[in-house]
Each structure stands twice: as structure tokens, then as C-alpha cells.
Amino acid sequence: MEFKRIVVTGMGALTPLGNTVDDYWNGLLNGVSGAAPITLFDASKFRTRFACEVKNFDPTQFLDKKEARKVDRFTQFALVVSDQAVTDAGLTKENINPDRIGVVLGSGIGGLITFQNEVVDFAKGDGTPRFNPFFIPKMILDIAAGQISMRHNFRGPNYAVVSACASSTNAMIDAMNLIRLGKADIIVTGGSEAVISEAGVGGFNAMKAMSERNDDPATASRPYDKDRDGFVMGEGAGILIFEELEHAKKRGARIYCEVIGGGATADAHHITAPHPEGLGAKNVMIEALKDANIQPTDVDYINTHGTSTPLGDIAETKAILEVFGPHAYELNISSTKSMTGHCLGAAGVIEAIACIKSVIHNKVPPTINHFTDDPELDHRLNFTFNKAQERPVNIALSNTFGFGGHNACVIVKKYS
């Protein structure tokens, strides 16, 4: 079966490294760490007191004050980046059919800050149920997709995807398949996450999942380093405009790249730990390569899940070696989470944007904060440690894995 071809015609990003796609990309190439002491709440009593926050973000610069108060921070992020991407793609009333444009957005947790604040306020009271009428509409995970559709009058398929940290990659795969099946001409897709809060940090601390390197936050995210001690929480959002190729050409759109395949699998192993041999990770890359109709030797760069956890980094590299064989040593591999931290449900799209920029500019962003080789890893692999590298990048692959054993992978290619 021959599928419709899908291209990316617009991008938007809010990240710990910058509040536009270009600022984010420049931060990656320069090896900037987005980690710093937490400012969004008083973290002095927490085991982890730092994170990768989106900086200098004032929602009222982009949204009406009244409108901004009615939505959670994760939806504020989503609305801002949707504006960026729609403008970047040149979508106007004159060149689109709103019934043929959908929104598919991922988030791992949604409005946790709203949920936390409402429940805490209730607990402080006398038991009388006094809740904000916007409590539920602010909190629910699908509301960001709904708000984007209302803001831009997009009336095609509209829903949210949740698969923990794989959410926005699964959203992109759904978006790709909706266009392939002829259900839409354009899908606004990606993800948003904003859970740097008492509940978010406290919850992940309780699981012992996060780094506690409070004395040196900037170097705390250390994927593939012997002394890695857990992930660094990040926040942010990314939006991509997926568009059917002929539709894009007809309206004279600028084309960034082609999206050629994706895959999704499950570890079926453990609620938080990866399969020790990387079975699900191996299978998802194989599935994505088959979907893209390419060979392992066609891939030039892998943006890994690479969270800086002791088990995860080992399992993923095992999977890469199994899937790519000798070609694994010809690839560039990097974890941009070393700079952005782990943006949870938004990680997939933020990292897909890094892959797209790599394909456009033939540059691979680094894995920063490497100090000591881990003897359990094969260091013949090119982890792109500490400094960006220039090389031809025709095809790039992005991996994202989530609690619950969810694995998702998307592949982008130079457009020709």
C-alpha cells in the first residue's frame, strides 16, 4: 500500500533553553544546560531542589490576562507554541479548509499544578466544597488540544494522547496516520508538560527517579556517564505542523523535512523500569524502520531517550546495538536531555524538533556532562559527547519511552 507523503511545514517550541525554535536549537549546539535552582515554588525541603524550567515566560505577553487565568500552565505553553507553528507554516483563512485540519496533542500528566492547588486549598478549609469552576476544564489532559482548535478554528480530528513520557511521540504517529488515511490534510501535533511543582517533584523524588545533585545542577543530567544518578525534571512544549505533501505544495508552503515512519511497542515488563535487554526499545525501532521502508544503514543520527538513569541508558544502547549491528558505530547518538532535562510528555516532540534541525543543518547536538566512561556501555559508539558535530544527516530517528513500558519512535528525512 502506498501512503500519502507527510511533510513538516511549521514548528514552535518553548523549552528550558529558549522560547523559540531557533533559541532552543542554538542552545543545543552550544551545549547549554537548562538546569538551575527551582523558582516556581519553595523547594528548600525537597530532596531535589533544581529543574529545567522554561525561563522568562509571561503568559500575558501572548494571551489575554483573563484567558491566561482560565488555563493551566501546560495549556498556556501549548497555546503559545501553536501560535508560533501556525504562523511559521503560513496557515491563513485563505489557504486552508478548517474542517480538514486537526489537533492531536500529547501530555503525560496534564494540569497537575491546577489539581494540586485546588486540592490543597480545599484541605485548608473547613470541609465546605468550594472549588474554582475552571478546576476540571483547566486540569483535564485533552483541554490543550481543545483550546488550540478553538483558538484557530480547526475543526478536524481533535484529541489528546497519553503514554507517559512517550505521549507526544505517540501523538505524532497518530497525526501521521490520520493524514495517511485521508482523514485530514493537516494535523497540528506535539505535546506540552508543566509539572515542576510540589506534587511533581515530590512524587518523582519518592520514586527515587530524579537526580539529587543539588550542589551542581548544571551537570546533574549525565546520560551515559558512569556517575549518572537519575533524570532532571524539565518542562516545555513543542508543536509541529504535519501536512500532506501535495496539499503543502499546492499552497506554496516551505517544507522543513519529510516524516517517513513511526512505531509503538510495549515492554510488558515493569511499571517504571525498562526491559533490561531493551526488548521493547529494540522492537519499536524495528517497527519504525519497517514503517519508513528503510534499512538500519540508512539512519545517520539517533536522538535517544537517554534520561540519565542507571538502567535506562544501558537498555537503550543494548537495543541500538541489536538493531543496527556494525552500523551502530557509524551513527551519531546523543541525548539532548543532558541540556533540556526530561520534559516528560513533551520530550518526544521537543527532541523531534532537534532531529529536524539536524537534518536541515547537518549538525548533531551533543550529549553534555560526560566526565567518566561507564564500563557497562560500549564506548565505541559515538555518543557525541560534550560538543556538537557536523556530519551529513539525511535521516534521523527519535526514541521516547514512558513509565508503563510504552515505547514510541518517529523517523524524519531530508525532503527532496
Instruction: Name the nearest CA neighbour of 201 among 314, 40, 310, 337.
Output: 40
Measured CA to CA in angstroms, residue 398 lies from 294, 302, 367, 395 at distances of 15, 6, 14, 10
**Three-class SS of residue 349?**
helix
Instruction: Name the nearest CA neighbour of 307 among 369, 356, 259.
Output: 369
A 10 A CB-CB count for 1 gives 3
Contacts of 340 (CB under 8 A, 6+ apart): 15, 16, 17, 34, 52, 234, 236, 347, 350
How far is Cα 65 from Cα 58, in angstroms, rounded to an integer? 10
Catalytic residue among 165, 257, 343, 355: 165
3: DSSP letter: P
Q: Is 52 a catalytic residue?
A: no
Which triple of cell numbers denotes residue 29? 549546539
Instruction: Confirm if 110 and 146 have CB atoms less than 8 A apart.
Output: no
Which secondary structure element, helix H or strand E, spans residue 105, and what is its range? strand 101-106
The catalytic residues are 165
